[in-house]
A = this chain, B = another copy of it.
Amino acid sequence: MQLQEAQEKFIQSWGTLGSHWGINRTMAQVHALLLISAKPLSAQEIMDALKISSGNANMNIRALIDWGLVFKELKPGERKEFFVAEKDMWEVIRKIIIQRKKKELEPVIKVLNDVSTVDENTPEAEEFVRVVQDIRLFAQKADSTLEGLVKSDQKWFVGTFLNMIK
């Protein structure tokens, strides 16, 4: 397979995957492009490579920087900005977990805590509290596991992960 074809396939595929993971298609494609680039790219190069508008490029590069998946790099003597991707896959996963935990898991736990204060004075209320408690327990377990994972270093995670599959 030719390099260019392979690169395009990879970018498409990463875009599709990203869109299922709270990262929009273009954002994931920009990340993919930077991942496989041997050198930092300018906004213009990204726009050209992916055939996207300046607004779109700007917005998604910014979001990637917010997520900690891309870094700005300034070259001495160059006015324009260049961008490089976080290439360590474990770091990438960690960064995504941090965002999603904050935006999804934590709000849900808050709601579960709130609603579990309902009075158990009818069979319906009992069933409700039972289900909510069950989910709450699970959510808290997931939360502390992910918290540990985020704080841990790479080696520990790889080791534990491998242990799981034995």
List chain B residues, Cβ under 8 A from A162. Answer: 141
Compute how far the CA of A69 lies from the CA of B119 in the bound complex, rounded to whole angstroms: 28
> How many A residues touch the partner, as a band?
35 or more
Beta-carbon nearest neighbor of A100 in chain B: B20
In contact, B131 and A87 (Cβ under 8 angstroms): yes
By a CB distance below 8 angstroms, the chain B residues around A112 are 10, 13
Q: Is the CB of A3 within 8 A of B125?
A: yes
Beyond the given pairs A7-B128, A16-B107, A93-B138, 9 more chain A to chain B contacts, judged by CB atoms under 8 angstroms and listed by A's residue number, are A6-B117, A6-B118, A13-B107, A14-B108, A37-B127, A87-B131, A89-B138, A148-B164, A148-B166
Least CB distance, A102 to chain B, in whole angstroms = 12
- The closest CB in chain B to the CB of A158 belongs to B141
A3 to chain B: which residues have CB within 8 Å?
118-119, 122, 124-125, 128
Q: How far, in whole Å, are A6 and B132 apart by their CA atoms in the complex? A: 10
**Candidates B6, B125, B127, B144; contact of A115 at CB < 8 Å:** B6
Which B residue sits closest to A120, measured CB to CB?
Answer: B3
Residue of B nearest to A156 (CB): B164
Chain B residues with CB below 8 A from A160, complex form: 163-164
